[in-house]
Amino acid sequence: MINTCFIADTRAARVVSSVLAALFIVVISGCSIFQTKSKQAAYPPSACRTGNLLDDLGRIGSAIRSIDARARIQLELNGRKQPSISCTLKWYGADRSQLLRLTGYGPFGITLFDCLLKDNTFLLSIPSHKATYFSDLTQGIDAQSRPGSISQNSRAASAAAQFRMALNPWNAAMTSRISEIFCPGFNENPFLDSGSTEPSNASLVCYSSFVNQTRVWSAFDVNTLAPFAMETRDFKAYFNGILSDSGHSLPCVKYPESIILILKKRDITIHISIKKISFNTITPWQAAFDRAPFMGLRLIPLGNLLRQAVGR
């Protein structure tokens, strides 16, 4: 489903769309779990600095209430890169809400997939399947077809929280249990573009924290307050570059040009290249969050699609 050749190949389209479905459901489940905790750090005050590093990072994370972005996403499956696809993303996360619309496009603007999260309901429309896959996230992604899968649902919720941190990595500095750690062993980015330079160890600050009883390691550049890397038991994330001002920037926000996610247990790497972004321009009443366009297709439990991805 990535391009014309993939659309023609039914089996390949099914596999790739299944992987995408598994990825996107991880992105958007649940509500915000972060609580602010400050920690004194001796960095000089400025327009973006108060002298308390965790407060500075936390202010950035809390300032991002919504995101409207254009991006390209490329999957790398078992070491083989797939063609990239163009996406639009609208996310609203203020007032403890979680609303997201993510649409992927192929050649000539053909919609490959369209997904929506609203009121704990996840809808994934795949036009080539002539179907909309649905899930009640309060019951877990597989509850409709495999009731009572509590441990699996718990892992999905935990992974969802971690993935959201990769999209707004400053939130990693707002967890309730956090401590500064030494950076050696967590200060190299294997995905830097040729000619790019990474921060020296002296300019990085690293933290260890817990989210939903899962340990999270994160690293930030103390000079720019930009994210550098993040890791949990399930994935690694690397952040490259700083996106240029698109006309809707926020003070002190140095949003990465690219996010690289490595899903450890599935041998999947996701390359996300941000082309344009604006902050706090989305409202929860926009037509983008209307469920009506998703309801005209055949409705199928999302668990059915996810099992296809693993051959069950």
Please spell the DSSP secondary structure of 244-303, one letter per residue: PP-S---TT----SEEEEEETTTTEEEEEEEEEEEES---TTSGGG-SGGGTTSEEEEHH
pLDDT in tens, 218-234: 999 988 899 999 998 88
Question: Averaging pLDDT over each range in 172-181, 202-211, 273-282, which range is the top one?
Answer: 273-282
Task: Tell me which of 78 and 185 has the higher pLDDT.
Answer: 78
Using the structure block, give the residue that is written with the tokens 């199928």. Answer: 300
| Cβ contact 209:57 at 8 Å | no
pLDDT in tens, 156-165: 444 445 556 7
Q: How far apart are CA 288 and CA 280, in angstroms?
A: 15
At 68, the pLDDT band (50, 70, 90 cuts) reads: very high
Average pLDDT value for residue range 162-185: 78
The DSSP code for 4 is H
Task: Tell me which of 31 and 79 has the higher pLDDT.
Answer: 79
pLDDT at 154 over 90: no
Identify the pLDDT of residue 268: 83
Average pLDDT value for residue range 22-33: 38
Q: How far apart are CA 221 and CA 216, in angstroms?
A: 17
| Cβ contact 63:250 at 8 Å | yes
Average pLDDT value for residue range 168-193: 77
pLDDT at 192 over 60: yes
pLDDT at 75 over 50: yes
- What Cα–Cα distance (Å) separates residue 22 from each residue in 27, 124, 255, 305? 9, 11, 25, 9
Identify the pLDDT of residue 131: 94
> Does an H or E element contain 125, and which?
strand 121-126
Within 8 A by CB and 6+ apart from 198, the residues are: 187, 188, 189, 192, 228
Identify the pLDDT of residue 221: 92
Burial 85-108 (b: 16+ CB within 10 A, else e): bbbbbbbbbbeebbbbbbbbebee
At 173, the pLDDT band (50, 70, 90 cuts) reads: confident
pLDDT at 9 over 70: no
Average pLDDT value for residue range 147-170: 56
Task: Tell me which of 192 and 143 has the higher pLDDT.
Answer: 192
- What Cα–Cα distance (Å) separates residue 245 from each residue in 71, 134, 252, 256, 278? 15, 36, 12, 11, 9
pLDDT at 93 over 70: yes
Identify the pLDDT of residue 161: 53
CA 109 to chain centre: 23
Tell me the sheet residues that pair with 209: 178, 216
Identify the pLDDT of residue 104: 94
Q: How far apart are CA 167 and CA 137, in angstroms?
A: 20
| Cβ contact 1:13 at 8 Å | yes
Our CA dihedral for 187, 192, 195, 196, rounded to 10 degrees, sits at: -60
Question: Averaging pLDDT over each range in 101-105, 232-236, 259-263, 306-310, which range is the top one?
Answer: 101-105
Lowest mean pLDDT among 33-37, 50-54, 68-72, 264-268: 33-37
- What Cα–Cα distance (Å) separates residue 271 from each residue in 84, 235, 257, 305? 9, 13, 11, 23
| Cβ contact 126:17 at 8 Å | yes
Average pLDDT value for residue range 150-175: 62
The DSSP code for 193 is P
DSSP assignment string, 198-220: PPPGGGEEEEEEEETTEEEEEEE
**What integer best gives the mean pLDDT of the chain?**
74
